[in-house]
Amino acid sequence: MSRLESTQTIRSKRIVQKLEDLQENRYYHIYNRGNNRKNLFLEERNYDFFLARYQKYICPVADTFAYCLLGNHFHLLIRVKPQERPHRSPLASGSPSRAFSNFFSSYTQSMNSLYGRTGSLFQERFRRKEVTGNDSLRAVMQYIHLNPLFTYICQGFSHVQALVVSNTPRQGDHVSSARGSLPLVRRQTII
């Protein structure tokens, strides 16, 4: 096998692995970042629009347990709903993975139109890791909620301290919490 064939085989296997559908009643850590590590959210209204699109495309197919939206990346902890939900949105037709694809495509197209840009907004297809067991679920939830602290350590301790004391994210960043978040987060299930 030539080097080119070997590379194509590796890429094909990677693509097949990434396209594996999300399975119902399973938890997943979903994450991605901006292409070339650029910001996904340029203004406060971008966060709100992202969450509105999320509610439209993803809430019909998945329950959300935690999320964190930072300037250039995001994290979500979701559980895929059973396929036979009577109140599923027509937008959610097809697989849950398709719903995520439609969601990211919708956000990208809107951002491209709004800011006169072209091409991919996200670095690659959304990444996902299945979360199994209560310990793993707890660890991922903690990771998502502490991610802003880890991110801002590089920007100086004073900002991190203010974040910890006030328990609120930096203006523009959005983090769910057990004490308060958008209605899309299933707080009572985890608490």
Percent of the chain with pLDDT over 70: 63
What domains appear along the chain, each with residue ranges and CATH number?
22-190 (3.30.70.1290)
pTM listed for this prediction: 0.72
74 and 40 Cβ atoms separated by less than 8 Å: yes
Q: What is the pLDDT of residues 85-140, one digit of tens each?
A: 455 555 545 689 999 999 999 999 999 999 999 999 998 888 999 999 999 999 99
CA 183 to chain centre: 16
pLDDT at 91: 52
Q: What is the pLDDT of residues 12-53, one digit of tens each?
A: 455 444 457 899 999 999 999 999 989 999 998 999 999 999
Interatomic CA distance for residues 27 and 11, integer angstroms:
26
Report helix, strand or coil for 137.
Answer: helix
CA-wise closest residue to 175 among 151, 154, 156, 157? 151
pLDDT at 160: 38
pLDDT at 161: 34
